Structure 1
Amino acid sequence: MEVFSDGSTRPVSPIYCRDASPIGGGSGDSGSSGGGSYGGNPGRGDPDPDPKIEPTDNFLNNAKLNCIWEKLTKNNSFNNYLKNFDQDFSTVDLIFDTSTNLPNNVNGRTDNSTSDKIYIYINENTISQKPVLGVARTIFHEAIHAELFRKVRSVNNQISIDDFPGIYDYYRRYLKNWQHQQMAAHYIDIMANMLKEFDGEQKSDQYYKDISWSGLYKFNDKNNPGTLIYSTAFSELSSTEQQRIINAISNLRNNGNKICN
Structure 2
Amino acid sequence: MKSLVTDYESNGGTVNLTYKVGSLTSGRNGECDPTDNTFKNIVITIDENYINSARTIQVARTFLHESVHAKIFSYLRQIEGYENLDKDNFPVMYEAYVNAKKSGTSMDAVANRVHHEEMAKHYVELIAKGLQEFDAMNHNNPEVTIDHYRALAWDGLEQSTAWNNLQQTVRDKITNDRKFIMDWFTILTCKD
Give the alignment's TM-score, normalised by structure 2.
Answer: 0.76
Secondary structure of the residue that 1:179 maps to in structure 2? helix
Offset at 1:122?
Answer: 0.3
Which structure has more helix as a fraction of its residues? 2
Partner of 1:79: 2
After the TM superposition, which residues 220-239 of structure 1 pair with which residues of structure 2 at under 5 Å, given as runs?
Answer: 230-239=159-168
Offset at 1:171?
Answer: 4.8
Q: 1:186 aligns with which of 119, 122, 136?
A: 122
The whole-number CA distance in structure 1 between the counterparts of 2:24 and 2:31 is 11
Offset at 1:92?
Answer: 1.9
Which structure has more strand as a fraction of its residues? 1
- The one-letter code sitting in structure 2 at the alignment partner of 1:245 is I
Unaligned stretches of 5+ residues in structure 2 = 101-106
Q: 1:106 aligns with which of 21, 25, 28?
A: 28
After the TM superposition, which residues 103-142 of structure 1 pair with which residues of structure 2 at under 5 Å, given as runs?
Answer: 103=26, 105-114=27-36, 116-142=40-66
Q: 1:204 to 1:250 in 2, by over 3 A?
A: closer
The whole-number CA distance in structure 2 between the counterparts of 1:253 and 1:113 is 34
Partner of 2:152: 211
What percent identity do the matched residue pairs reach?
28
Structure 1 contact 170–182 (Cα < 8 Å) conserved: no
Describe the superposition over 1:46-74 as per-residue Cα deviations: whole angstroms up to 9, x where unpaired. Answer: xxxxxxxxxxxxxxxxxxxxxxxxxxxxx
The whole-number CA distance in structure 2 between the counterparts of 1:181 and 1:188 is 11
The whole-number CA distance in structure 1 between the counterparts of 2:50 and 2:184 is 16
Structure 1 contact 99–123 (Cα < 8 Å) conserved: yes
Q: 1:160 aligns with which of 83, 86, 93?
A: 86
The whole-number CA distance in structure 1 between the counterparts of 2:28 and 2:85 is 29
Aligned residues: 170
- Relative contact order, CA 8 A, sep 6+: which one is greater? 1
Secondary structure of the residue that 2:7 maps to in structure 1? helix
- RMSD value over aligned CA atoms? 2.6
Secondary structure of the residue that 1:126 maps to in structure 2? helix
Offset at 1:206?
Answer: 1.1
